[in-house]
């Protein structure tokens, strides 16, 4: 079983300070949180940006400020920008930050109901986004929310539209409107991925109450894990987490208890094939 990669989704686009008072918003706050998460065991920062008032943003200058601050605070960590933005964000603005050439970025694989909204990822836009990843030399993490999206990604690979290999796929389970994080759902997703894209690596982001159940399955089946305030603001039921690093540290502690080592930054880059 390969070393475990922990990703910290420290801010997100939907969580607010009223939900989670410890949410990092400014580039300086994000850099401080990224360093704490790295020290706790995270090797990837999944990055959304906010303006100072907390509103979600895709502004290039703000992304650059956040990336620069994080790299200065913890140069070893992998920065993975979000091209999802907030639900309803214009596609051109979602795509634009790839021009900053981070090591990684997210590529959402389909449209789904998202709470009371619709997260639109039109097939032609998915192709445009995949081509932009190749143009800028950014490694994609493909986000899938239900099993049909795995089939869609497999077709894009066969057509030569997605070419990075091994591809890294993240199951985002528990979004209202998407597949839940029930254990049988995750096990099915793992099997389906192995059938359709045998060389792919995978991680899981369990939303809300599904965070720990999906994380524990990933720990013992060779998957990787995303945690953080984008996905879950609680440490225990009804108990607000003190920090993203607290959530990372818990997973790192469990991994140590069961004998699964945490990836070093170099090992994480090798697993994601970031050196190609």
- What tens digit of pLDDT does each residue of 177-195 get? 999 999 999 999 999 999 9
Is residue 252 pLDDT above 90, yes or no? yes
Is residue 276 pLDDT above 90, yes or no? no
Question: CA–CA separation, 105 vs 79, rounded Å?
Answer: 8
Compute the mean pLDDT over every residue in the chain, rounded to the nearest whole number.
96
Which pLDDT score, from 0 to 100, does residue 115 have?
Answer: 83
Beta bridge partners of 105: 81, 140
The pTM of the full predicted model, rounded to 2 decimals, is: 0.96
Is residue 272 pLDDT above 90, yes or no? yes
Is residue 176 pLDDT above 70, yes or no? yes
Q: Which residue has the tokens 């305030």?
A: 229
Mean pLDDT of 213-220: 98
Confidence at 158, pLDDT banded by 50, 70, 90: very high
Choose among 228, 208, 226, 230: nearest CA to 218.
Answer: 226
Is residue 92 pLDDT above 90, yes or no? no
Is residue 275 pLDDT above 90, yes or no? no
Mean pLDDT of 136-140: 97
Which pLDDT score, from 0 to 100, does residue 93 have?
Answer: 87
Question: CA–CA separation, 86 vs 24, rounded Å?
Answer: 16
Is residue 137 pLDDT above 70, yes or no? yes
**What is the tens place of the pLDDT at every residue in 102-135?**
999 999 999 999 888 899 899 999 999 999 999 9
Mean pLDDT of 245-267: 98
Mean pLDDT of 9-17: 95
Confidence at 9, pLDDT banded by 50, 70, 90: very high
191 within 8 A of 223, measured Cβ to Cβ = no
Structure token pair of residue 209: 């109450």
Candidate CATH numbers 3.20.20.70, 3.40.47.10, 3.40.190.100, 3.30.1370.100; the one for domain 6-271: 3.20.20.70
Is residue 232 pLDDT above 80, yes or no? yes
- First-to-last alpha carbon distance for the chain, in angstroms, is 23
The sign of the dihedral angle between the CA atoms of 144, 14, 80, 202 is negative
Q: Which residue has the tokens 């079983």?
A: 1
Find the Cα–Cα–Cα–Cα dihedral 159, 161, 166, 167, rounded to 10°. -110
Distance of CA 136 to the CA centre of its chain: 19
């Amino acid at each position: 079983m390969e070393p475990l990669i922990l990703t910290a989704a420290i801010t997100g686009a939907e969580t607010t300070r009223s939900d989670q008072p410890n949410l990092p918003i400014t580039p300086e706050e994000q850099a401080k949180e990224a360093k704490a998460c790295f020290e706790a065991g995270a090797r990837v920062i999944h990055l959304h940006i906010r303006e100072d008032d907390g509103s979600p943003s895709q502004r290039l200058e703000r992304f650059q400020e956040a990336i620069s601050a994080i790299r200065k605070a913890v140069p070893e960590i992998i920065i993975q920008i979000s091209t999802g933005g907030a639900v309803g964000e214009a596609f051109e603005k979602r795509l634009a930050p790839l021009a900053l050439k981070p090591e990684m970025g997210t590529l959402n694989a389909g449209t789904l109901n998202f709470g009371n909204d619709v997260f639109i990822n039109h097939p032609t836009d998915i192709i445009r986004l995949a081509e932009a990843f190749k143009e800028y030399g950014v490694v994609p993490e493909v986000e899938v929310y239900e099993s049909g999206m795995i089939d869609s990604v497999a077709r894009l690979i066969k057509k030569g539209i997605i070419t990075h290999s091994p591809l890294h796929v993240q199951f985002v389970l528990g979004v209202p409107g998407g597949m839940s994080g029930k254990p049988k759902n995750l096990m099915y997703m793992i099997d389906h991925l192995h059938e359709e894209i045998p060389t792919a690596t995978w991680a899981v982001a369990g939303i809300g109450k599904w965070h720990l159940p999906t994380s524990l399955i990933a720990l013992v089946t060779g998957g990787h894990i995303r945690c953080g305030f984008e996905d879950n603001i609680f440490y225990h039921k009804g108990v607000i987490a003190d920090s993203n690093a607290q959530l990372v540290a818990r997973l790192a502690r469990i991994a140590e208890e069961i004998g699964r080592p945490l990836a070093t930054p170099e090992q994480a880059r090798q697993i994601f094939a970031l050196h190609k």
